[in-house]
Amino acid sequence: MLTVDFELLGIGPGARVIDVGCGAGRHSFEAYRRGADVVAFDQNAADLADVDVMFQAIAEAGEAPDYAKAETVRGDALDLPYGAGEFDVVIASEILEHVLHDTQAIAELVRVLRPGGVLAVTVPRWLPERICWALSDEYHANEGGHVRIYRADELRNKITAKGVRYIHQEFTHALHSPFWWLKCAVGVSRDQHPLVRAYHRMLVWDMFSAPPLTRVIERLLNPLVGKSVVLYFAKPVGGR
């Protein structure tokens, strides 16, 4: 399940892409399949080990072009181990809400992006996230949990202040908002609760089946209760 719209990123053969805070690797895998040279970057060694296994499986199955490259790198988003302008596309999906020093992380995302390149940032949307916080402390008040709730305009201003141009904004994953409200209401760790299990089965079915009805429903609901806000930026060329 992708949060970022890859049609807006312009990823083609040989594009250099870094997925900062890659987690389970969903965006890294899509970039790899599209022929990019991908760095899946995270601080969690266990997640990166799983991502590396999947990279190998994609290659062995012939799902990525032979010329594409993929690697996992462990490190700190506050100090990316790359030079300025090394990447054509930078993705940071659902990580800034976890980072205490978010302005430093944003500066690093912009620094490693080449002039003319595209930055995609996603975070939980204000209203669905505020409901989750109101329903459950367990949802956010834990090690590695969410440290803030963003308003879209606040985050947009923080990012453009680092020297990139705002392109586009969208909301996505509306069907996931009620799922998280339900989990927060019954207990975040209660994955086996009957209602949670039933809703999760529906989400998995929807993800793999993509029936037209739920696609239409989600598109209609995204502007209202989309779980994530996605922001796209371009780094100016020649200071423009």
In tens, the pLDDT along 10-46 reads 898 999 999 999 999 999 999 999 999 999 999 999 9
Reported as a single tens digit per residue, the pLDDT across 182-232 is: 999 999 999 999 999 999 999 999 988 989 999 999 999 999 999 999 999
- pTM for the predicted model, two decimal places: 0.94
CB neighbour class for 214 (10 Å; exposed up to 12, middle 13-18, buried from 19)? middle
The predicted pLDDT at position 1 comes to 83
Query: Tokens for 36?
Result: 């990019």
Read off the pLDDT band of 140 (50, 70, 90): confident
Nearest-angstrom CA–CA distance, 141 and 63: 40
Read off the pLDDT band of 238 (50, 70, 90): confident
Read off the pLDDT band of 122 (50, 70, 90): very high
Residues in the chain: 240
- Strand-strand pairing, 113-124 and 87-93: parallel
Average pLDDT over the chain, rounded to an integer:
95
For the residues 130-143, what does the mean pLDDT come to? Answer: 89
Q: Residue 173's closest CA among 233, 229, 234?
A: 229
The predicted pLDDT at position 143 comes to 74
Nearest-angstrom CA–CA distance, 24 and 163: 30
The predicted pLDDT at position 65 comes to 96
H or E stretch at 165:
strand 165-172
Question: Does position 111 have pLDDT exceeding 80, yes or no?
Answer: yes
**DSSP at 37:** E
Please report, for residues 114, 119, 138, 214, 234, the alpha-carbon distance to residue 202 in angstroms, rounded to integers and kept in the order given: 41, 32, 24, 10, 36
The larger pLDDT score, comparing residue 239 to residue 169, is at 169
CB neighbour class for 144 (10 Å; exposed up to 12, middle 13-18, buried from 19)? exposed
Q: Residue 154's closest CA among 176, 178, 129?
A: 129
Q: Which amino acid is at 128?
A: P
CB 124 within 8 A of CB 151: no
The larger pLDDT score, comparing residue 139 to residue 118, is at 118
